[in-house]
């Protein structure tokens, strides 16, 4: 399994000299499992660059897994090149809603005045699925989704193969559902997807003092992200969904705080950065050192 980070910024794209190292595109991660199809997590602005690469690779079958439909996780979809190619099939998975289907909700982004074209104008074969409650398979991967604490219907994902597993919870405020430390793991939000993952990609948007003024916004402090990673038994922690106001320098400070919170732990909290590539299982990388 190979992860490539195409966008890791939260809330709104932040291009510019202050973010060249961490990147300014919003959430998008590719999980490469096998040649048959592409797995894509979220459709933030990072998906535009991924789309171009998928076209160069001749990829014709794509599964797009949306955690939720906030704009920073959806706004790149309209500029996702495979969507405008009739040879491509795109299957879009997302959280269920009690009132409006996934297709209807996404179609709002494909309509005037937000966009000149409609979803019906898309050339690719597009299928929509509410995520199932039980695990399901796509190619060589077993996937699982679980509702997590974030405003509106939002899920986290687990992608597992025979050799590795990763969990993706880019927008998550588990502290809102009670203390993280000292709680049985089965009672922690998102644990069904995050438990014992080789790599946990998790929301760490705020410093502790910033979080105090933003409780309930649906995002985590860096301290809570580390506490969460430890509580669910993750092996590594990738700090994700960077606050738009945080420059590269600020994010390095945040990463340092995360490592201080982890202390002698083994999470090795690390900032997600655009262009980062991670091969799982990690043992392979460790053997190289």
Partner 1 sequence: MSVGAAAGAWPWYRFMPRPKLGQTQNLGRTLPPVADTRRYKHLVLILARELASNLATPAGIVDDHGMLVFYNEAAEAIVGPPFSEVGEVPMDEWTAGFNPRVLGSEEPLPAEQRPARIALDQRRASHERYLATSADGVDREIAVTALPLYAHADEFVGIMVIFWRE
Applying CB under 8 A, the residues found at the interface with partner 1 are: 1-2, 4, 32, 34-35, 57, 95-98, 130, 133-135, 142, 144, 146-149, 153, 158, 160, 162-165, 177-178, 185-193, 195-196, 198, 236, 252, 255-256, 259, 268, 270-271, 273, 275-279, 281-286, 289
Complex with partner 1: residue 1 or 122, whichever CB lies closer: 1
Which DSSP string do the residues of 70-130 spell out, in sequence order? -GGGTTTGGG-GGGG-TT-EEEEEE---SSS-HHHHHHGGGSTTT-SS-GGG--SEEEEEE
Whether the Cβ atoms of residue 38 and residue 54 lie closer than 8 Å to each other: yes
What's the closest the beta carbon of residue 178 comes to partner 1, in angstroms? 5
Complex with partner 1: residue 44 or 122, whichever CB lies closer: 44
Cα separation, 146 vs 131, in Å, equals 9
Complex with partner 1: residue 115 or 252, whichever CB lies closer: 252
Stretch (H or E) spanning 244? none
What's the closest the beta carbon of residue 118 comes to partner 1, in angstroms? 25
Cα separation, 89 vs 97, in Å, equals 24
What's the closest the beta carbon of residue 115 comes to partner 1, in angstroms? 26
What's the closest the beta carbon of residue 35 comes to partner 1, in angstroms? 6
Complex with partner 1: residue 87 or 249, whichever CB lies closer: 249
Complex with partner 1: residue 78 or 269, whichever CB lies closer: 269
Complex with partner 1: residue 113 or 289, whichever CB lies closer: 289
What's the closest the beta carbon of residue 124 comes to partner 1, in angstroms? 21
For 177, 245, 271, the CA distances from 10, given in Å and listed in that order, are 22, 10, 13
Q: Retrieve residue 96's tokens.
A: 């269920």
Could you tell me the end-to-end alpha-carbon distance of the chain, in angstroms, rounded to an integer? 19
Which residues 6+ apart lie within 8 Å of 165 measured at CB?
A: 158, 159, 196, 197, 198, 199, 280
What's the closest the beta carbon of residue 163 comes to partner 1, in angstroms? 5
């Amino acid at each position: 399994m190979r992860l490539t980070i195409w966008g890791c910024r939260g809330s709104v794209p932040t291009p510019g000299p202050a973010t060249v190292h961490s990147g300014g595109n919003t959430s998008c991660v590719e999980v490469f499992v096998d040649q048959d199809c592409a797995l894509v997590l979220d459709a933030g602005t990072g998906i535009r660059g991924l789309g171009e690469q998928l076209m160069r690779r001749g990829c014709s079958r794509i599964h797009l897994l949306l955690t939720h439909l906030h704009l920073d996780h959806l706004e790149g979809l309209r500029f996702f090149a495979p969507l405008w190619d009739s040879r491509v099939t795109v299957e879009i998975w997302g959280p269920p809603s009690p009132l409006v289907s996934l297709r209807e909700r996404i179609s709002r982004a494909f309509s005037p005045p937000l966009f000149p074209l409609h979803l019906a104008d898309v050339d690719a074969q597009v299928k929509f699925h509410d995520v199932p409650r039980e695990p399901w398979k796509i190619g060589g991967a077993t996937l699982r989704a679980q509702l997590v604490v974030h405003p509106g219907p939002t899920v986290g994902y687990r992608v597992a193969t025979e050799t590795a597993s990763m969990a993706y919870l880019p927008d998550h405020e588990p502290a809102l559902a009670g203390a993280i430390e000292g709680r049985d793991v089965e009672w922690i939000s998102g644990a069904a997807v995050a438990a014992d993952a080789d790599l946990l990609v998790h929301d760490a948007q705020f410093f502790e003092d910033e979080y105090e003024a933003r409780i309930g916004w649906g995002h985590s402090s860096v301290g809570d992200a580390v506490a969460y990673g430890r509580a669910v038994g993750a092996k590594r922690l990738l700090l994700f969904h960077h606050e738009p106001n945080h420059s590269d320098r600020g994010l390095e400070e945040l990463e340092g705080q995360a490592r201080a919170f982890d202390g002698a732990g083994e999470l090795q909290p690390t900032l997600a950065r655009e262009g980062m590539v991670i091969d799982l299982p990690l043992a392979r990388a460790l053997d190289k050192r």
